[in-house]
Amino acid sequence: MRVLGYESSCDETGVALYDTEKGLLAHCLHTQMAMHAEYGGVVPELASRDHIRRVVPLTDACLKEAGLTLADVDAVAYTQGPGLGGALLVGAGFANALAFALGKPVVEVHHLEGHLLSPLLADERPEFPFLALLVSGGHSQIMAVRGVGNYEILGETLDDAAGEAFDKTAKLMGLDYPGGPRLSKLAEEGDATRFTLPRPMLHSDNLDMSFSGLKTAVLTLVRDVEAQEGGLKEQTRKDICRAFQDAIVDVLVAKCLKALKQTGFKQLVVAGGVGANRQLREALNSAAQRRKFKVFYPPLALCTDNGAMIAFAGALRLKYAHPVAGYTVKPRWDLASLPKA
Ligand code: ATP
Ligand code: MG
Ligand code: FE
C-alpha cells in the first residue's frame, strides 16, 4: 500500500509517499521560516495562505521524485491536529478532496504520533516498548511507548516546551527567528565555565519539567551583563547561550535517566525539533554508554516537521482509513486519547 501524507500543522508544508513494502519513496518540504522571520514568529493567517500555495506543487514534486502518479496512491494521510486551526484546515481540505477525487480512503494522523514514531524511519530502529523524549516547539513530554497508539505520559513540562524555551530565549538575546538552532550554534562557541544558570526541577521527585524560569534567569543575566559591559559582547552572548543550553540539556538528560530507571526500559527514543540539538545528542549518547541503554533518533532531516512522518504514521494506522465523509481538524488533541493501532 502506498500512502500519500500531508503535514500542515504549523509553518512547514510537507508531502511524502510511503510504501508499506518498500519504505519511504519520496518526501518534499517547504518551510515558511523566512516568511515569518520578518514578524519574529509564526503569523497563522500567512501560514494558512502559504500552505495553499505550496500544496499542489509539492504533491507534483513528491510524485515525480518517486517516479509515480496519483493513480499509484492507495490512501491519503494528513495531520488532523494538534496545530494551528487554519493551517490544519488547508492540509485536511486538500487531502480529503484529493482522496475523494481518487476514490481512495483517508486516514487522520496525530502530529505528535508522527514525531514519536519518526525514529522508526531511521536505519537503526527501536523495538517496542521504549521510552520516548518528545521535545518540540510546542511539547516536552516523557512517554512510555508500548506500541502504536499505546502511549503513557510519565512527565511533561508544566509551562514552556523545550523548543519554545530555546526560541524565546534566543529572541530575548536578540537572535533572529527561528532562534533555537541559532542559539545552539552560538552555544557551541561559548565558554561553559563562565556562567551557571538554574536547572529547574532537576531534583524534583517526578518526571515533570519547567523551562519558563530558565528563560527569566537568562533575561536577568543579560540585563546584569549589559549594565556591566555596556552592551552584550559577542563572546558574552555565546557564553550565555552555552549556559542556557547546558542547563536545558542537563535537565532533559536527568529526567530521561530517571524515567529509564523507573520503567526499566533499555531503549530511549528522542523525537521533535530539539532532538536535532547536537549537545543533547552527545550528552544522551554518552549517558547511554555509561548506563547501558540505547538511544534512537529520527534521521536528522525528519526531526522537525515533515510529511514523511505523517505518511508513515498513516501507514501504521491503515486499519482506521475510511472513505471521505466530511472532515474536521483538532487544533488541541491529547496524544494519550488515541486508540491502539
Ligand atoms: P509541535 O510538534 O509540538 O507542534 P513544532 O512542530 O513547532 O511543535 P518541531 O518542528 O518538532 O516543533 O520543532 C521545532 C522546534 O525545535 C523549535 O522550537 C526549534 O527552535 C527547535 N529546534 C530545532 N533545531 C534545534 C536545535 N538544533 N537546537 C535546539 N532547538 C532546536
Ligand atoms: Mg516549524
Ligand atoms: Fe512538530
Give the Cα separation of 126 and 149 in Å (integer).
16
- pTM equals 0.96
Spans in the chain with pLDDT lower than 70? none
pLDDT at 166: 98
Half-sphere exposure of 134 (CA within 13 A, CB side): 26
Q: Do the interacting molecules here have an ipTM over 0.95?
A: yes
Distance (angstroms) between ligand 2 centre and the Cα of 111 equals: 12
Q: Which ligand is nearest to the CA of 188?
A: 1
Q: Is 134 annotated as a binding residue?
A: yes
Q: Is 221 annotated as a binding residue?
A: no
Q: Is 260 annotated as a binding residue?
A: no
Distance (angstroms) between ligand 2 centre and the Cα of 305 equals: 6
Distance (angstroms) between ligand 1 centre and the Cα of 272 equals: 6
Ligand 1 pocket test, candidate residues 274, 281, 303, most atoms within 8 A of CB: 274
Q: Is 300 annotated as a binding residue?
A: no
Residue-wise pLDDT tens digits, 135-193: 999 999 999 999 999 999 999 999 999 999 999 999 999 999 889 999 999 999 999 99
Query: Residue 135 contacts by C-beta under 8 Å, 6 or more apart in sequence?
Result: 161, 162, 163, 252, 270, 271, 272, 273, 274, 275, 280
Task: Give me the residues paired with residue 134 across strands.
Answer: 141, 271
Distance (angstroms) between ligand 2 centre and the Cα of 10 equals: 6
Q: Where are the beta strands (DSSP E) in the chain?
A: 2-7, 12-19, 23-31, 75-81, 106-110, 130-135, 140-147, 150-156, 267-271, 294-296
pLDDT at 181: 96
Q: Whose CA is nearest to atom 13 of ligand 1?
A: 273
Nearest CA to 92 out of 116, 109, 115, 75 is that of 109
Ligand 1 nearest-atom number relative to CA 163: 18
Residue-wise pLDDT tens digits, 251-272: 999 999 999 999 999 999 999 9
- Asked whether 13 and 51 are in contact (CB, 8 A), the reply is yes
pLDDT at 28: 98
Ligand 1 pocket test, candidate residues 304, 329, 334, most atoms within 8 A of CB: 304
pLDDT at 177: 87
What are 47's three cell numbers? 501560514
Give the Cα separation of 7 and 13 in Å (integer).
6
Q: Are strands 106-110 and 75-81 parallel, antiparallel or unpaired?
A: parallel
Under the phi-then-psi rule, with left for phi > 0, alpha for psi from -120 to 50, and beta for the rest, what region is 326?
left
The three-class DSSP label of residue 182 is helix
The three-class DSSP label of residue 191 is coil
Q: Is 70 annotated as a binding residue?
A: no
Structurally, what CATH architecture does the domain formed by 2-117+302-337 represent? 2-Layer Sandwich (3.30)
Q: Is 137 annotated as a binding residue?
A: yes
**Which ranges in the chain are annotated with CATH 3.30.420.40?**
2-117+302-337, 126-297
DSSP 13: E
Q: State how far the alpha carbon of 262 is from the alpha carbons of 135, 205, 252, 253, 259, in Å.
A: 20, 11, 15, 14, 5
Pocket of ligand 1 (CB under 6 A): 10, 83, 111, 115, 136-139, 163-164, 166-167, 178, 180-181, 184, 272-274, 276-277, 304-305
CATH superfamily label, 126-297: ATPase, nucleotide binding domain (3.30.420.40)
- Percent of the chain past pLDDT 70, that is, above it, reads 100
Q: Which ligand is nearest to the CA of 165?
A: 1
- Asked whether 178 and 10 are in contact (CB, 8 A), the reply is no
